[in-house]
Structure 1
Amino acid sequence: MSLPTTVSMDGLPERITIYEVGARDGLQNEKAVVPTEVKAEFVRRLLASGLETVETTSFVPPSWIPQLADAPALLEQLGEAGTGVRRPVLVPNERGLDNALAAGVGAIAIFGSATETFARKNLNRSVEESIAMFTPVVERAREAGMWVRAYVSMCFGDPWEGEVPVEQVVDVSKRLMDLGCDQLSIGDTIGVGTAGHVVRLLDALQDKGIGVESTAVHFHDTYGQALSNTIAALQQGITVVDASTGGLGGCPYAKSATGNLATEDLVWACEGLGIETGVNLSTLVETSTWMATQLGRPSPSRVVRALAQTDSKENA
């Protein structure tokens, strides 16, 4: 497999952590039900590629996201590979936390919104009510020794409300982090953000005491900006980047949200910049190609498609 020429740039980290969301965020919007056995194999292949942090599933009511209704069965199949602080699961409320604790997981994520409309559509609660709902979840999780992440969605734009003021995003982010969360992930749920906007938001978070060391970025590629936004974030000192193998994903409550930043595209860029990820790109591409076969459609990842074409020509 060909790799890019490595040419480093000043102001970038030597190493980043990829927070892999393909098994949860990537599959939650699939129309066809993906068998539990396939999901478990997907997670195992992701881990074998060198990805250390993999968000495996979500303990949400089956009526919300039927695709993830098999969370307990999936974690049972994964065994020790599905637990620990490197295997977070998403939980929306205390019932979800109870299920996560029963499954023996060591890390959870809560999912807030920077806008009122999306909070209502996603959680059937206002922003204020959702924070109140998350408060005992975080408290109990920390008491149990869990690592806790806070997602904030619609940080760069909302399909119903339009532009989202930076100050509004910062306020919600700070309130969630003040609950006792270990990490904040700022999400461009509908992919409308651009690099300058990313820098502006990260600076504003820093001014409120939420530093880059506790912040991750989560970009969708609706307008082809996910990778450029990520590089801008890395230049600001970010070292944790959310990505989805094969570029899978979307949001069941925001139809304009297309796929996540493809993990392969991120790894290719990092290879070219001399940034260590710990990921074997060849193994990851094989995993993505395998998963695309399971889903019955080509991988959206540009790197996967390009390398597949290259391999076909070389083998011709």
Structure 2
Amino acid sequence: MKIVEVGPRDGLQNEKQALSTAVKLELIRRLTASGLRSIEAGAFVSPKWVPQMAGSAEVLAGLDLTGPVAYPVLVPNEQGLDAALAAGAREIAVFGAASESFSQRNINASIAESLQRFAPVAARAQAAGVPVRGYVSCVVGCPYEGRIAPAKVAEVAARLLDLGCYEISLGDTIGVGTPASVLAMLEAVSKTVPMTQLAGHFHDTYGMAISNIHACLRAGMMTFDSSVAGLGGCPYAQGASGNVATEDVVYLLHGEGHSTGVDLAALVDTAWFIADALGKPPASKLAHAIGDQRRAKPER
């Protein structure tokens, strides 16, 4: 099983509490030490729109980019790609949508325009030997349009695959999916993109994220995005709560007999670390069930 940890990017981008580069690096260090091998490290976007991602170049500068752990960064356009490559990025991600309205609100472009914008980014990255991952947001529902047709998701995913994305992450951005609606979408998408190149990205707004992951797992999906402590949300989707918590996903996968290579105790400790830094409790149920072991007092 593969877990893509999105906490340091997708998780932090919607947090109001500003964090220093040192805290971000310590978060990533702890996530790496827990056994995670793909950790989103930042985004080369305008700090005017996503202030939490300011300093992504400094974060990359503090990481070992030559080791076995991948530290992908989000890149919205060629200007962002230039900055990412200059900072030494070895993997990038581009972010599209299956909803026209969301695409306009998120990146001020239609779906077609966004794909045209990604084409030179993907081509240049691949020419530089940098893998490209693609995201599709609003794969089940949109805050502006409501239900999204599975065929539309399949169309956008196929276009990203054609651009050269090695993996397509399917995001239930506002967390309205249920196993039935998610599997209907997945059935349509898997006809155009192999299941081995698909990942699930679920938000827990309605408490369905773990159920949706379990359904996708049974359908053959082997890669899932998640965010330590359940951090996140979406700045362009009001009311959307955080990503599914990495520790909850790992607990599910281990319980289903899958290997992740992740030390669950270390991961929970990391959840409490970043929660303390943000001044709020973790959103994950597992973190509360196990408790903050750093504060646990020995029995007498």
Superposition misfits of 4+ residues, deviation over 3 angstroms: 309-316
Aligned to 2:146: 162
Q: CA deviation at 1:315?
A: 4.1
Query: Using the alignment, how far apart are the partners of 1:80 and 1:143 within structure 2?
Result: 19
Q: CA deviation at 1:199?
A: 1.5
Query: Using the alignment, how far apart are the partners of 2:237 and 2:201 within structure 1?
Result: 15
Q: CA deviation at 1:253?
A: 1.0
1:19 alignment partner, SS class: strand
Matches within 5 A, 1:83-232: 86-208=70-192, 210-232=193-215
- Scaled by the length of structure 1, the TM-score of the pair is 0.91
Choose which of 44, 63, 76 in structure 1 pairs with 2:61. 76
Residue 42 (structure 1) aligned with residue 24 (structure 2): no
Query: Using the alignment, how far apart are the partners of 2:62 and 2:292 within structure 1?
Result: 35
1:142 alignment partner, SS class: helix
Query: Using the alignment, how far apart are the partners of 1:126 and 1:271 within structure 2?
Result: 40
Query: Using the alignment, how far apart are the partners of 2:292 and 2:13 within structure 1?
Result: 29
Which digits, 9 at most, give the CA deviation of each residue in 1:182-230, with x for residues without a partner?
A: 000000000000111222122111222x011000000000001000100
Q: Give the root-mean-square deviation of aligned CA atoms.
A: 1.7
Distance 1:84 1:121, change over 3 A: farther
Aligned to 1:281: 264
Distance 1:265 1:313, change over 3 A: farther
More contact order relative to length (CA 8 Å, sep ≥ 6): 1
Q: CA deviation at 1:78?
A: 2.1
Aligned pairs, how many?
A: 299
Q: CA deviation at 1:84?
A: 7.2
1:53 alignment partner, SS class: coil
Q: Check whether the contact 1:116–1:126 (CA below 8 A) recurs between aligned residues.
A: yes
Q: Check whether the contact 2:39–2:69 (CA below 8 A) recurs between aligned residues.
A: no
Identical counterparts, % of pairs: 48
Letter in structure 2 aligned against 1:32:
Q
Q: CA deviation at 1:76?
A: 1.3
Choose which of 248, 270, 282 in structure 1 pairs with 2:253. 270
Q: Check whether the contact 2:65–2:90 (CA below 8 A) recurs between aligned residues.
A: no
Aligned to 1:24: 9
Gaps of 5+ in 1: 1-15
- Scaled by the length of structure 2, the TM-score of the pair is 0.96
Query: Using the alignment, how far apart are the partners of 1:122 and 1:295 within structure 2?
Result: 25
Letter in structure 1 aligned against 2:224:
V
Aligned to 1:59: 44
Letter in structure 1 aligned against 2:211:
S
Distance 1:236 1:211, change over 3 A: same
